[in-house]
Amino acid sequence: MGLAMSYLMAPAGGQDPARIARGLFGTPDWRAGRPVLDLGGAWQALHYLITGDAWDGRQPEADVVCGGRLLTEDGAAELGLDVIYLDAGRVKTAADHLAATPFDAVAGRFDLAAMAGAGVQDADRMDPGVRDRVLRPAYGALGRFYQDAAAEGRTVYKAMIPS
């Protein structure tokens, strides 16, 4: 079993992000009527292309996929999924990074053997066509999602869901 990742935009506010996460993700239909981007299982391959690492990296690159505050350690563990919170300032910085970094600038990191060696989910089952067939459009969708969130001053919640 792997993990899938979905992104949800939310208004910036002074409330506790863990409490907001419980309200956002506390029902089975949390996607309904909200601005959501589903990356499915492509999330970790994208993170690797963006940062060169399966989990870590520098800001702002790492913030695009895996970076942010893990809320399940902050009192939202009952949700049954991991939720990562990115405040509006970091959303803007990640959006600016994506806008300044075309896919072709990160695509050179697409090396299935290196990705599998780093532990990237499903890299050992990917074919070379995944880079342009799946990851290129997903990278474009991420850029648009972050640009929209930044333009509206929103925060981003990332949900890692067992798939």
Q: How far apart are CA 62 and CA 75, in angstroms?
A: 23
List the domain boundaries for the chain. Answer: 3-162
pTM: 0.93
Q: Which CATH number fits domain 3-162: 1.10.510.10, 3.40.1760.10, 3.30.360.10, 3.40.50.1100?
A: 3.40.1760.10
Q: What is the pLDDT along the chain (163 residues), one digit of tens a residue?
A: 689 999 999 988 778 898 888 888 888 888 888 889 999 999 999 999 999 999 999 999 999 999 999 987 765 567 788 999 999 999 999 999 999 999 999 999 999 999 999 999 999 999 999 999 999 999 999 999 999 999 999 999 999 988 8
